[in-house]
Amino acid sequence: MWFGSVVILAMVLAACALPPAAVPTPFPTSTPPATPTASPTPDFGATPLPTRQPFGVGNHLPYITQTGDTVLAIAAHFNTTADEILALNPGLPLTRTLPSGQALTIPAYWFPLGGTAYKMIPDSEFVYGPTTTDFDIDAYVALQPGYLKEMSAFVAERQRTAAQAVLYYARQYSINPRLLLALMEWRTGALSRADAPGEAARNPFGPIPGVTGFTAQLRYVSEQLSVGYYGWRAGWLTSLRLRDSTTSRPDFYQSAGSVALQHLFSQWMGLDEFNAAVGPQGFGAVYIGLWGNPFDGALPDVLPGDLAQPDLALPFDPRQTWSFTGGPHPVWGDYSPWSALDFAPAGVAGCAATDKGVTASAPGVVVRAEENTLVVDLDGDGFEQTGWALFYFHLTNESLTPAGTLVQTGDPLGHPSCDGGQATGTHVHLARKYNGEWIPAGGILPGIVPFDLGGWVAQSTGTPYQGRMIRLGAWVEACTCSTARNTVYWAK
């Protein structure tokens, strides 16, 4: 069923012209050894890690929910089904995030090839979230003796210090910059060695097959971390294919942040090197040496239970109609979560300039306005790392509303364009995140916090840039065109 009333001549419009590569599908399934007792985060001292042993079919295992958990993802992690979990835990919601710390009983099924129970980092240390608000990367790197402080890189049309290059990728992919620094320190001593060993000055993340150069490595590492984190969060990434074609399955009780690192390491390591890297004496030891035990103290939840999106309006004037030109697709690069939607002003062909403006979808404060990017913090504390934040891209630099501006729903933010990256036409690229975690436009899982803009709810088809906006049972299909079939508008 198509929803729309005015036929407009078709024209090429408005979608980010990224390669149509989807986030990789799950690797061939294999499964983890489990345990008849729950696996708390291990003490980084002398406490031995639990050993997983085979168990009977459907054995009942205790589990304490972690931040961002959903019934469907837990079912995937434990190689079981949502129905079986609900039978033992009646009343659990299928379409909501679960609060952390809730005791559940999970009927699990044995899987071989299980990975370590050791957790390297919690989710709160993975994302560019609340724990990063007081971190000054420039000051930190400048005080270290390592070679990194002497480096610079050309990133997004300008030369930057190494610290600013790291911050750029940390912001765009919403990954903790401390994590990226720790990975470079672990691989090449970037923070501690004044003499860059070998090729380290060009490749501070160390040798990565087929990936050379500082910025290429920053992008690659950020994307592979994103695949691991959001793949585990959604439940589709349940096993890892290593460089030597062996397989490891993340432990049932793992954190999304640790699986993100496991996925990254699996891309260039064989089994022995991988097991050493993800164990207590591997990367985790380096991270602790730099920043302390990330599991000490009360860990902040990244995603709370019953997470709900605030009311959001369409990002344009109520008197206008725009075209829905890009369904759920990567918010940045090729393999970040499919958190972005694209909208284009109707009647604007190609990359033509327009006086039609992008408007605020909710009240907040502009916390970043640079490089064709504008971020609105909806909780008003001045940090994009906390609470809900909206990310707008492809706005012309000269039109950006200045950082620090308080805005109300419908206030102007800037003009859409093709600026800032490849695009097929003038448009705005819109995404949302909570506490630094990108929220997929189609929902964390189908029906769980979908992107709702004035009653138009995004739906993914499983192919990037395709998808629908659904309202009151009717829908429009994403298309790089402008017709009645993809027209969206304000409705009372």
Per the model's pLDDT, the better-predicted residue between 4 and 288 turns out to be 288
Q: State how far Cα 219 lies from the chain centre.
A: 14
Asked if 119 and 42 touch (Cβ cutoff 8 Å), the reply is yes
- Name the pLDDT band for 232 (thresholds 50, 70, 90): very high
The residue ranking higher by pLDDT, 272 or 25, is 272
Q: Which fold has domain 321-489?
A: Glucose Permease (Domain IIA) (2.70.70)
% of the chain at pLDDT higher than 70? 89
User: Is a pLDDT exceeding 50 seen at residue 4?
Assistant: no
What mean pLDDT value characterizes the chain?
89
Whether 314 has a pLDDT exceeding 70, the answer reads yes
Question: Which of 63-77, 102-116, 194-208 tops mean pLDDT?
Answer: 63-77
Relative orientation angle of helices 271-278 and 283-291, to the nearest 10 degrees: 30
Q: Which two tokens stand for residue 198?
A: 């070998």
* pLDDT at residue 181 in the model: 98
- Residue 54 C-alpha from the chain's centroid: 34
Amino acid occupying residue 76 = A
Q: Which of 390, 356, 457, 459 is nearest to 14 (CA)?
A: 356
pLDDT one-digit tens code per residue, 322-378: 999 999 999 999 999 999 999 999 989 899 999 999 999 999 999 999 999 999 999
Query: Full-prediction pTM beyond 0.75?
Result: yes
For residues 410 and 14, the model is more confident at: 410
Q: Is the pLDDT of residue 2 over 50?
A: no
Domain positions in the chain are 59-108, 123-291, 321-489
Give the Cβ contact number of residue 9 at 10 Å.
9
Query: Bigger pLDDT: 37 or 438?
Result: 438
With contact defined as beta carbons under 8 Å apart, do 104 and 59 qualify?
no
> pLDDT category, 114, cuts 50, 70, 90?
confident
Per-residue buried b or exposed e for 428-462, using 16+ beta carbons within 10 Å of the residue's own CB: bbbbbbbbbbbbbbbbbbeebbbbbbbbbbbbbee
pLDDT digit string (tens) for 16-64?
A: 543 333 333 332 222 333 333 333 344 433 345 666 777 777 789 999 9
Instruction: Give the span between the Cα atoms of 52 and 35, in whole angstroms.
Output: 5
Task: Assign 491 a pLDDT band (cuts: 50, 70, 90).
Answer: confident
Instruction: Tell me how far apart the alpha carbons of residues 372 and 482 are, in angstroms, rounded to a whole number.
Output: 24
- Of the pLDDT bands very low, low, confident and very high (cuts 50, 70, 90), residue 7 is very low
Q: Span 466-484, mean pLDDT?
A: 92
Please state, in angstroms and rounded to a whole number, the distance separating the CA atoms of residues 491 and 313. Answer: 10
Average pLDDT of the segment spanning 182-190: 98
Query: Please, which pLDDT band fits residue 111 given cuts at 50, 70 and 90?
Result: confident
Q: Is the pLDDT of residue 465 over 70?
A: yes
Beta strands in 261-363 (DSSP E): 321-329, 340-345, 358-359
pLDDT average, residue stretch 266-295: 96
| pLDDT band at residue 8 under the 50/70/90 scheme | very low
Please, which residues have CB within 8 angstroms of residue 197's CB and are 6 or more apart in sequence? Answer: 188, 189
Instruction: For 404-413, write each residue's pLDDT tens digit.
Output: 999 999 999 9
What average pLDDT does this structure show over 146-156? 95
**CA quadruple 468, 237, 171, 288: dihedral, nearest 10:** 160
pLDDT the model gives residue 30: 29
Q: Which CATH number fits domain 59-108: 3.30.420.130, 3.10.20.310, 3.10.350.10, 3.40.50.2300?
A: 3.10.350.10
Tokens of 438: 């990108």
User: Mean pLDDT lowest for which of 193-197, 312-316, 403-407?
Assistant: 193-197
